[in-house]
Amino acid sequence: MACYGKNGTIVALKEGLSALYADPNVDGVIINLFSGMGTWGFDLLELMTVIKDGKKPILTWLIGLKDTLEPAKIKLEKAGWPVFNEIHRLVKVMSIILQQR
């Protein structure tokens, strides 16, 4: 499938996340999200709609443009998605979660 522009990007990302989450060899997922404009200006919560249960941990590392970063973080956190601005903290938390399983 060719994926161009904002709609194509979100379709491709949703398919990729869905495949990762469904893979029995994947214990947890770390998603690097960019809040911004243009092709990357899609609704970040739309990406997360492919997750229907909470069987595997999904943590997000959010980076992006200064004026879009905090609103995107608040939106994701209000929807229940853990958001990190620092990758080393995210990896440490994921490690602890997976060790306790």
User: What pLDDT digit, counting tens, does each position of 69-97 carry?
Assistant: 898 899 899 999 999 999 999 999 999 99
Query: Cα–Cα distance between 61 and 2 in angstroms, integer?
Result: 26
Query: Cα–Cα distance between 22 and 55 in angstroms, integer?
Result: 10
Scored b (16 or more CB within 10 A) or e, 63-94 reads ebeeebbeebbeebeeeebebbeeeeebeeeb
User: What pLDDT digit, counting tens, does each position of 16-72 carry?
Assistant: 999 999 999 999 999 988 887 655 566 778 888 888 888 899 999 999 888 888 988
Distance of CA 83 to the CA centre of its chain: 9
Ordered by start, the domain boundaries in the chain are: 5-99
For the entire predicted model, the pTM comes to 0.80
- Answer whether 56's CB lies under 8 Å from 26's CB: yes
